[in-house]
């Protein structure tokens, strides 16, 4: 049985140049999602979100494999925003809001997701209230590859917001989006690779 690797079949979504922003068109994709707020380093809600996203995503994968369609579970992703955008760029994490998520292929049916949640519930208890499986359609976006610590993203984002987007006549069309290509448990902070994406629209 062949195994789909979306980092290869959808390579444009998981690759980007370092040091500059490239424009891409992001198709509608399905995601398992959990919402929350607060500093991801200390907020219990963030830890709980991650604890649920992976078991549900892998249960969906194994169900698909049993039905004859195997795939590699894609990397963790996050949508990030704040009531005041400056709080995000300045890394005032206690004021952040977020949606953590993992992509799932379009052949995953809602019933497969529901069964995966039920399976995870037997080990984890009640699911987060915002746990869901739904599409995300971002469309036109700018993205770059950030190599290094997450806390070092600020200057790159400030450059995007204050210079690149105004120069191109673009405005925000959705929250800041990050795709975590590296496992922080196994990768030195200075070598972490993260896709930074911003959906945009004409002003």
CATH number at residue 40: 3.20.80.10
Amino acid 87: pLDDT:
80
**C-alpha to C-alpha distances, 126 to 98, 113, 115, 130, nearest whole angstrom:** 20, 15, 14, 11
User: Measuring CA to CA, which residue among 72, 82, 189, 198 is closest to residue 143?
Assistant: 198
Amino acid 3: pLDDT:
94
For residues 54 and 76, what is the distance between their CA atoms, to the nearest angstrom?
A: 9
Question: Is residue 179 a contact partner of residue 14, using CB atoms and an 8 Å limit?
Answer: yes
Task: Examine residue 143 and state whether it is found in any structural domain, yes or no.
Answer: yes
Amino acid 90: pLDDT:
79
- Residue 49's domain comprises 3-12+22-202
Amino acid 164: pLDDT:
96
Task: Examine residue 17 and state whether it is found in any structural domain, yes or no.
Answer: no
Question: In this structure, what DSSP letter does residue 164 have?
Answer: I
What is the number of structural domains in the chain? Answer: 1
- The answer, as to whether pTM is greater than 0.85, is yes
For 183, the token pair is 């496992």
For 125, the token pair is 């208890």
Taking residue 97's Cβ as centre, other Cβ atoms within 10 Å add up to 16
pLDDT tens string, the chain, 203 residues long: the values are 789 999 999 999 999 999 999 999 999 999 999 999 999 999 999 999 999 999 999 999 999 999 999 999 999 999 999 888 778 777 889 999 999 999 999 999 999 999 999 999 999 999 999 999 999 999 999 999 999 999 999 899 999 999 999 999 999 999 999 999 999 999 999 999 999 999 999 99
Task: Examine residue 78 and state whether it is found in any structural domain, yes or no.
Answer: yes
For 112, the token pair is 């497969």
For residues 15 and 179, what is the distance between their CA atoms, to the nearest angstrom?
A: 10
Query: H helices within 10-164, ranges in order?
Result: 11-14, 44-66, 85-89, 110-124, 154-159
For residues 117 and 111, what is the distance between their CA atoms, to the nearest angstrom?
A: 10
């Amino acid at each position: 049985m062949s195994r789909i690797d979306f980092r290869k079949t959808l390579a444009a979504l998981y690759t980007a140049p370092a040091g500059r922003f490239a424009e891409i068109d992001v198709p509608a994709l399905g995601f398992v999602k959990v919402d929350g707020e607060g500093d991801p380093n200390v907020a219990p809600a963030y830890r709980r979100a991650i604890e649920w996203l992976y078991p549900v995503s892998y249960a969906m994968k194994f169900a698909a494999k049993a039905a004859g369609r195997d795939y590699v579970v894609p990397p963790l992703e996050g949508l990030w925003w704040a009531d005041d955008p400056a709080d995000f760029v300045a890394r005032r994490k206690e004021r952040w809001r977020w949606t953590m998520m993992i992509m799932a292929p379009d052949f995953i049916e809602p019933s497969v997701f529901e069964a995966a949640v039920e399976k995870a519930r037997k080990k984890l208890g009640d699911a987060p209230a915002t746990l869901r499986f739904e599409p995300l359609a971002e469309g036109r976006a700018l993205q770059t590859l950030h190599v290094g610590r997450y806390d070092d993203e600020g200057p790159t984002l400030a450059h995007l917001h204050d210079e690149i987007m105004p120069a191109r006549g673009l405005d925000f069309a959705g929250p800041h989006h990050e795709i975590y290509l590296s496992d922080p448990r196994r990768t030195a902070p200075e070598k972490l690779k993260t896709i930074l994406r911003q959906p945009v629209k004409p002003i």
